Amino acid sequence: MNFLSALVRFENLHEVRRLCHWGPIIALSVIAICSTMAIIDSVIWYWPLDTTAGSINFLMLLNWTVLILYNYFNAMFVGPGYIPLGWKPENPKDTQFLQYCRICQGYKAPRSHHCRKCNRCVMKMDHHCPWINNCCGHLNHAYFTSFLLLAPLGCSHAAFIFVMTMYTQLYERISFGWSTVKIDMSAVRQFQPLMPFSVPAFAATLFALGLALGTTIAVGMLFFIQMKVILRNKTSIESWIEEKAKDRIQHYQTGEEFVFPYDLGSRWLNFKHVFTLSGTPRGNGLEWPVHSKCHQYTLTIEQLKQKADKRVRSQVQYQAVEDYNGACCPLNKGFRTFFRTPCTEEPRIPLSKGETILATRGTKWWMYGDKIVSEEEMRGKIIFAILISTS
């Protein structure tokens, strides 16, 4: 395997279009700003060619940048892995335990879910991440989680450099009244490169410091959330399914005992199931090792029960009283509706006055559900999809 294919792997050049999205643009901009300013400030504060410690500090900065970009691009371009179109289980009788995807024209394998953004059924789907403009799933879960770990570590190192650079450059110029705060900087002042720390440089460093601290807190929290589900061999969606299973059993008093099927009983075993030395997770994304009390379709059967329960609980239909164009943050529906828009990339459904909605849940300002489509409209969509696929 050559260096380029090891650095970034993607199936075709069309995948490069994933970069043309607000998520990757913002994420890569933050990485570029923090890395560039950290390198510049490390040269100003701790000249790398003067001491061994300065060289190590500089090399660590470069190392963080390379590792962060390596895992970020692999999470984006390797992708989560998709269920083959038209997939069916080997045993035809097993189809009764699975949901059918009309869009992919096949059955959803255990742990897979259909992503509306990717328009495919995703293997062990955790969520669709706008920052990589791709789903996090079976094949890229380890890359994505490694990125969530490395980004806060790299930003913490950069933030330390920003603080020390501003301190060393401003301490002798401006008196802050810090008579008791003194740091011995003799080791790092043996050579001072000709790079003036001007007002624009100070402003840029302060801005980069804010980005680094914000990234450390926000991405660090996401890392702990991901590790919490990984150590139980779950995904974020499966955690939600387990919670709904407990609510369903308690609501109907069925006396069932729901055992999550994919927890291997050890955090270390669960960890090794996702993280491997090769970077490729164990399994083919279609079949999974399960708990001794469960079988391959324990979770899919529970999903079918929840889907049936959802249909029972969502019998109330709503009728649209105004037109809605499907905007993410509609300005003409009031300030509360605008500011309380759901933080999700799920598509908003355009509505016309008089159309009927079958809602499953909602808030005072937003509702989650589907528009009831007539048979004529459904046939028209199928014909339109056939024309697209044959053109």
Give the helix/strand (H/E) hosting 180. Answer: none
Angstrom CA distances, 174 to 89, 202, 257, stand at 72, 13, 68
Given 104, 129, 135, 155, the catalytic residue: 129
> H-helix or E-strand containing 361?
strand 356-362
Using a CB cutoff of 8 Å and minimum separation of 24, what contacts does 70-73 make?
70/7, 70/8, 71/143, 71/144, 71/146, 71/147, 71/150, 72/27, 72/28, 72/31, 72/132, 72/143, 72/147, 73/7, 73/8
Burial of 140 (0-12, 13-18, 19+ CB in 10 A): buried
Per-residue tokens: 154: 């790299």
Q: How far apart are CA 271 and CA 266, in angstroms?
A: 9
Residue with tokens 């014909």: 383
Residue carrying the six token digits 């001072």: 192
Query: Is-catalytic flag, 343?
Result: no
What secondary structure letter does DSSP report for 82? B
The set of catalytic residues is 129
